Structure 1
Amino acid sequence: MGYQCGIVFRTCCVKGQEGIDVSISDDAPKKEQVEISKEELDQEDPYLHDGCRGGGPCSQQCRDTGSSYVCSCFVGYQLQSDGVNCEDINECITGTHSCGIGQTCVNTLGSFRCQRDTSCGTGYELTDDSRCKDIDECETGTHNCPPDFICQNTPGSFRCRPKLQCMNGFIQDALGNCIDINECVSTNMPCPAGQICINTDGSYPCQRISPSCGRGYHLNEDGTRCVDVDECSSSNQPCGEGHVCINAPGNYRCECKSGYSFDVISRTCIDINECRRYPGRLCAHKCENTPGSYYCTCTMGFKLSTDGRSCEDLNECESSPCSQECANVYGSYQCYCRRGFQLSDIDGISCEDIDECALPTGGHICSFRCVNIPGSFQCTCPSTGYRLAPNARNCQDIDECVAESHNCSFNETCFNIQGGFRCLSLECPENYRKSGDT
């Protein structure tokens, strides 16, 4: 039988029957009857050499090294500490299995199998490969259909169909009884326009509608049928102020609009004052109630934000409220004037010129005369004989004699005085002559 087949035979047939010699079994071939040629020996498993034939000391695989035997195990087994026997590897404990989520590993000799964790449910069975397969109750005979019914398999269950067929206008119920079909309900417009459907057993007749219609309906233009009156579309609204009219077949109803509530005393819809009902919760500054709603406003110096309820500072200086300089402050603004001007006491935004020449403190300090100009002042001097000093406040005498701006003749001598000059003529008496210009 060979070594490996002998191991399998001994495991399956001799286990638990100690004392039985496999070699004397009638079904087992005798070792001396097997003749192996040298070519066959070369083609055999390299683990099966002369010393390992006939089983050897190993329980599964044996390799003869010449001086000793080396035992090994099949896939799914591991060698025990004695170096001879093999024991099964529990892949479920060692974690070497390949079972996925929702499956449980079940160990087997030399291998393992994956079993589904949850059951398949009613009408299904678990296959060997852990899949759910539908149970055909009709084929297995596990259905409970009466003799007058036919079993029809469905996924996970079955149906019992009665063998008895009903006439037109009837349908079978779950017990196989024939019940009437109400064609007036199950069929869309079974009768032509201007006629009504009347159900009977197995059929239905159509009857012409009476020319008079009930309340909430009126005849159409053809006078063949009654149509609903849309009370809400008429110019005379049936609902009062603050109501919404909702049309219904043959009737209508009134409901309160958003922002209104129904008053049981007056039987009308009254406005909800949201600002009073939710004080300080709707708006950051001020809340103004309107019919059916409300809106938010801000105090002076602020503007409404994009969210419609918060307030943010308004930059009044962007609209140039001041005549000269403007400084924005939180919730307001402040006007300032440039040098030489002062803020008006009347409106607080205009700037007035300061007349420095009229100040009692003499802020101009001009030596001769002060002339007021917008925002400042200027010092002036007499029209002739003087000019303004570099400090723009004092007056300096002009020396016309040095500047040669006088009009003295050749025979006259120019003599400077404060604010002018004199032309001096020196004539010597008889028997005298000039000594120099003077």
Structure 2
Amino acid sequence: VAGRARCSCFPGFSLMTDGWMCEVDECVTGAHSCKPSQRCVNTVGSFVCELQVTCPAGYQLRNSLCEIDECTMRTHNCGMGLVCENTVGSFLCNPKQKCISGFTQDSHGNCIINECSSLTEPCSSGFNCINTVGSYTCQKKIVMCSHGYHASPDGAKCVTDECQMGTHRCGVGQICHNLPGSYRCDCQTGYQYNALRKVCTVNECWRYSGRLCAQKCENTPGSYRCSCTAGFSLAFDGKNCETNECDQNPCSQECANIYGSYQCYCRPGYYLKDDGHTIDECSQSIGNLCAFQCV
């Protein structure tokens, strides 16, 4: 250095306290006899072996001793707005740093960007901006409206609810459904609009489902009509359905289904045999089929 000499030693040696003599550093040259679980510490003219100490969680190694870390163990009494700093045998409570505009402070005292305040309209109308770690989220506003009012679709304001206020014009048998700025009248269950869609009339098939007809029910103006599926015909009571035997073609020509049975009949100019099913050609063609007797 300027005005005086500075001594240094070769590798494997260390400078003594007098500043000009060198001695062997057994810890560097490997000439010590410390065990793997021990740490070599060079001394004047010799060395010492110290036991390596590993501290458990919540403790810090200081001067070969483990002492409790109150900040990690949360045994400190630092209040809100203060940050815990561990010291020898104790701890300190330091004020948290102040964040500039556009930033917010997390639970560890760090300043992170606050997109909700730094960005221009990060969320659309009707949503609140919630700052998160490294980002932000938009949450729909919840507006509490009094009786007779409901929240608008964007959740920003309360609008009149005509259905609750009773200012609608829905008639008897109609249900009021509120819409943004208006309302809609629908028919109650079991009712349907008439042809002009002004009045709700009872729909017997809906209102008394399964009770009026055995199979199919069809609503008509002011009433209803029962019908049957294929293979069945409507009984005389107009409600029940019975098997339509005529679908099986039991007759030679025409078949008429009757309640619980059927009847065969012929077209004009034909007659049935006694069995009631087949045509009697002999009765139909007298003298034309046989020269003597027709059977």
Place the TM-score, normalised by the shorter chain, in its bin: under 0.3
TM-score by length of 1: 0.20
Q: Relative contact order (C-alpha < 8 Å, sep 6+): which is higher?
A: 2
| Higher Rg | 1
TM-score by length of 2: 0.27
